[in-house]
Amino acid sequence: MNKLRSNCLHFKELLAQNIALISPTMTAALIVPLMFGTTGSISWLSYALGGVLVLFVALSLNEFARRTTNSGSMYSYAMAGLGFTGGSLCGWCLLWAYLFIGLAGTTGFTYFAQTLLQMVHVNIPPVFLFVLCLGTSYFIAFKDIKISTLITLGLEAFSITFIFLLAFIVLSHKHFAIDTAQFTLKGTSMLTLGMGVVVAIFSLVGFESSTAFGEEAVNPLKTIPRSIIWSLIITASFFVFITYVEVQGTAGYSTTLDKLGAPLTTLSQIYGVPFLGPITSFGAMVSFFALASSCMNAGSRVMFAMGRHSFFPVKTGAAHPKYGTPHVALTAYAIVMFSVVTVCYFWLTANGFAVLDEFNDAGTMGAFGFVGAYTCIVLAAPAFLKKRGELAAKHIVLCVVTMVLMLVPIIGSVWPIPSPPVNAFPYVFVGYLWFGLIQVMSMQHQKPKRVEEVGAEVRAQHAEIGVEAVA
């Protein structure tokens, strides 16, 4: 069998995949302090604006998702609209994005696992925790994608439940009074608000991951677009709410929110429920496990799709004869994830950094990949619709508006110039894209027949009865 297991993922599993990759707990546990340090008391507004911006990207993506689908869809979507070169670059961006966001999940899992273990005076080297996180994710994903996605949903739901409980306790202590300080723009500039939107966008990346499961979804032309929109609505709303609560809850505390390494634990101590501290830390740990697992699932399916097109050894495009999972691509991706996170850990610790620094750096690196992939999709949508004879003025307007909005994270990633080593990250990512582009040009020069065959395969995948999908 060379096909993935079909009709096994319903709407709830697809929604779980997207939400797990966005990882609401990650934002509540570690990113909100960063947002507060950027935009202060109006941090919730940055999440609201960031959610609107990403929604525009989702609308462009759904122009594809409502019409056609297959495994590794965003890569295939971009190829349908932009051709072989543009689609290939989108695929390389996605591999990078899922790899580094997956490493953020792995290091986040390790950070909170160490926090819990230190409570019982146990110390386990981070590398062993890397193995535990990635090894367990791999085993579950290898056996059954449905079980894997349901586990991620359960873990994230467990974590969010206790975060909501803690938030309710905080608000009740405040007598549910409106924090008026969070609704004034005094002292806020467009620059700081824009930088906050960049942080918000990076918190929301991953909403599109269900598109990688086109061959495994039930009624994919309906369930995948719905999962994209609802995952954004749910998580963006949660980010606005929890940011408001954390800012209000820590107002007047001896340490400002941006200086807190574990804001949820601090809130549990401030408001007399210290027993929730370990519980929320455990919830964060399992949520980060879900993030690493969902990235492994999504990234391996992009590799699976690219393996079918000869970017990787042909075996990476094979499915397991019994489980219907992309076992070779999954194995390769898991090995790469472990190798990179381990090498980076030893390099960073040798230079005086810690696991939490690796988490921050991995998240920043991954965000570049998502911005690149989203840009490809936004540009590909009108080209795709034109080739189908369905292009309308509203599609062009959507593309132009979204590209203007995309300038916020693109410019915000490089200006103001960040401190070392983050200032070098854009150049590393561009170098990686050059590597991908060289491979694309090499295939076009050395294997022109195979490139033509790939084009024919994409035309067949995205064709509508009586209408050519790709020129």
In DSSP terms, 467 is beta-bridged to 464
Question: What is the DSSP secondary structure assignment for residue 258, as one 8-state letter?
Answer: G
Q: What pLDDT score does 467 carry? A: 36
What is the per-residue pLDDT across 197-227, written as a single tens digit (0 to 9) for each?
888 888 898 899 899 888 889 999 999 999 9
State percent of the chain over pLDDT 90.
66
What is the per-residue pLDDT across 245-292, written as a single tens digit (0 to 9) for each?
999 999 999 999 999 988 999 999 999 999 999 999 999 999 899 899
Range 11-461 has CATH code 1.20.1740.10: yes
Closest CA to 379 of 79, 178, 94: 79
Q: Give dist(CA 13, CA 216) in Å, integer.
A: 11
Q: What pLDDT score does 102 carry? A: 95
Using the predicted structure, report yes or no on whether residue 459 has a pLDDT greater than 90: no
* Residue 71, helix vs strand vs coil: strand
- Residues contacting 53, CB < 8 A, separation 6+: 197, 201, 405, 406, 408, 409
Tokens 């101590």, located at residue: 269
- Residues contacting 460, CB < 8 A, separation 6+: none
What is the per-residue pLDDT across 169-197, written as a single tens digit (0 to 9) for each?
999 999 999 999 999 877 677 777 777 88
What is the per-residue pLDDT across 332-368, written as a single tens digit (0 to 9) for each?
999 999 999 999 999 988 888 888 889 988 988 998 9
Q: Where are the alpha helices (H) located in 120-205, listed in sequence order?
A: 126-143, 145-173, 190-204
- pLDDT tier, 465 (very low <50, low <70, confident <90, very high otherwise): very low
- Judge if the upstream peptide bond of residue 416 is cis by omega within 30 degrees of 0: yes
Q: What pLDDT score does 17 carry? A: 87
Mean pLDDT of 391-396: 95
Q: What pLDDT score does 261 carry? A: 82
**Angle 336-337-339 from CA coordinates, rounded to 5°:** 60
Helix crossing, 355-387 with 190-204: angle to 10°?
A: 90
- Residues contacting 218, CB < 8 A, separation 6+: 7, 8, 9, 10, 11
Closest CA to 342 of 171, 165, 179, 106: 106
Please provide residue 230's backbone torsions phi and psi, each rounded to the nearest 5 degrees: -70, -35
Using the predicted structure, report yes or no on whether residue 94 has a pLDDT greater than 90: yes
**Angle 256-291-340 from CA coordinates, rounded to 5°:** 95
Q: Give dist(CA 160, CA 343) in Å, integer.
A: 32
Mean pLDDT of 315-333: 93
| Cβ atoms 286, 158 nearer than 8 A | yes
Mean pLDDT of 17-22: 89
- Residues contacting 6, CB < 8 A, separation 6+: 215, 216, 324
- pLDDT tier, 469 (very low <50, low <70, confident <90, very high otherwise): very low
